[in-house]
Structure 1
């Protein structure tokens, strides 16, 4: 028989490992059923007959934008801001008709009725459209960036779909004009 002394550090480490083991085993055995951000998974086939040039589904319920390129090789999901109310949310099919780096912003008539102090804003840090904008075939509806990162993941827009500036820059680069869009 050996005369081994068990140190306090050894006992604490062994006890911690024993307590953590059930959690580690469970984490390996149970598949993740949903995304951490609670995005609802989407399939382009549920929304479009073909991918065409590319396809976007903006899901206002899960506050996520899903993008597929034309050959289906690329699938990206982006967290978004969505319209503040259902009345501001236009749903249906549209497409990207124009893209602009450094967009300027002019408030719509309904925005001015709600807040008469709103004024035209040139491109820059205070501009609510962020660094990039993709204009849809519906007048005054865009997919754009935002400098106010607190808006992402919330009902905070006047009708548009907003993304973090670095994410709209990425999407802007890969989504061509003519990309089909569905707002849910």
Structure 2
């Protein structure tokens, strides 16, 4: 009897171990399967094979857990695929349901990006678009923590052009804007204090000259300060992203879109100081500009026809200025002869805070990267094919799938996000 009991105990243990082995083997098979689906999904999308992309994405979502680290990437890819192919039925029955299912697991920016594609696809079906907008209100109608500003900063708009500074390079929060009328992307930029190019690169499917009333626009306000070690009361400009940053008293980051020099008259790169400040400046037209346009006078007095706008600050002892403009559409573009242009309302606010002697660092960075809270953040601003080919994202993410990195370079530009 005793021998029989011992054998039964051994037999029961062997069965338990077999069950464990079967479970472990099944888990490994599933893991390999979803990793394969992930690879094929992004590889086929990059090659324009959207039917294969769809199948691989759906297989991944079927077998991966809700908290799988790659689930948000796949859902965003599926939304891009259905938007490109104008697949209304699938967007509604797969993407919409997955977005709702992943409410607690997907990061905020992925939800915003997917929502914009989902909502805009149905914009020509008003009843459905309205239902989507209300259903996912928690994604776009975010209540930000109140930002108490001192008197000298009361003219700034919290979470638009001023953000709390937390001693890291990462600032800001991405947002969704709904167009209040039929307009152009230039007009949207002015209303939201953004530049044309930064809106264009983060919203690749928008027609910049035909923004429809009600259309959702992704506002890329989560950024990395260009300087590796930012310091208080210094100005940082990144020409590639066409944006200026000013750290005020180690408590706030003030940031504005800018216009920069053309490819034939590039803005300078390097370290400068503000050596002169002028209100309502007259424009002493440089000889080289008068050669281009002989009809220009030697001096353009202050007023609506003055391209320097209402304020100007000189960079070192050069002819380059940080100044306002009488042409708002130039903010966010390569349009100047090398000077840094801001909207008049922005240059006035900056002018009132910045003293002479302030250091100004000007960079030309196509990619910014920083390791924050155990996550590797990147931000891409390259636009031309040549610029994109030069970007080697593998040095930032050696363990990440190569096909996903190709997707990132193409479709995830203009804002900061963690690669892992």
TM-score range, shorter chain: 0.7 to 0.9
Tell whether 2:76 aligns with 1:76. Answer: no
Q: Deviations over 1:75-116 (max 9, x none)?
A: 111000010126432110101011111011011122122222
Contact persistence 1:88–1:159 (CA under 8 A): yes
Partner residue of 1:131 out of 296, 300, 310: 310
Q: Which has the higher helix share?
A: 2
Q: Identify the residue that residue 170 of structure 1 maps to in structure 2.
A: 349
1 or 2 for the larger relative contact order (CA 8 Å, sep ≥6)? 1
The 5 A counterparts of 1:1-184 are 22-23=98-99, 29-32=106-109, 35=174, 36-37=219-220, 40-42=223-225, 44=227, 46=228, 50-51=231-232, 54-69=233-248, 71-85=249-263, 87-119=265-297, 120-184=299-363
Q: What is the distance in 1 between the residues matched to 2:256 and 2:235?
A: 11
Q: Which has the higher strand share?
A: 1
- Point out 4+ residue stretches in structure 1 off by more than 3 angstroms: 19-28, 37-40
Change (3 A) 1:112 1:26: farther
CA-based RMSD: 2.7
Q: What is the distance in 2 between the residues matched to 1:142 and 1:25?
A: 51
Q: Deviations over 1:119-175 (max 9, x none)?
A: 221011110000111111132100000121010110011110000000001100111
- Unaligned segments of structure 1, at least 5 residues: 1-15
Change (3 A) 1:27 1:183: farther
What SS does the corresponding residue of 1:32 show, helix, strand or coil?
helix
Change (3 A) 1:41 1:135: same
Q: What is the distance in 1 between the residues matched to 2:338 and 2:313?
A: 14
Contact persistence 2:267–2:340 (CA under 8 A): no
What SS does the corresponding residue of 2:345 show, helix, strand or coil?
helix
Q: TM-score, normalised by structure 2?
A: 0.36
- Structure 1 residue 32, shift from structure 2 partner: 2.7
What SS does the corresponding residue of 1:171 show, helix, strand or coil?
helix
Q: Deviations over 1:41-94 (max 9, x none)?
A: 2154x266x54xx2111111000001112x311211100001012643211010
**How many aligned residue pairs are there?**
163
What SS does the corresponding residue of 2:329 show, helix, strand or coil?
helix
Q: Which moved more, 1:75-84 or 1:26-35?
A: 26-35
Contact persistence 1:128–1:147 (CA under 8 A): yes
Q: Which has the larger radius of gyration?
A: 2
Q: TM-score, normalised by structure 1?
A: 0.77
Q: What is the distance in 2 between the residues matched to 1:181 and 1:171?
A: 13
Change (3 A) 1:22 1:137: same
- Unaligned segments of structure 2, at least 5 residues: 1-91, 111-172, 175-218, 364-420
Q: What is the distance in 1 between the residues matched to 2:346 and 2:330?
A: 14
Q: What is the distance in 2 between the residues matched to 1:82 and 1:43?
A: 16
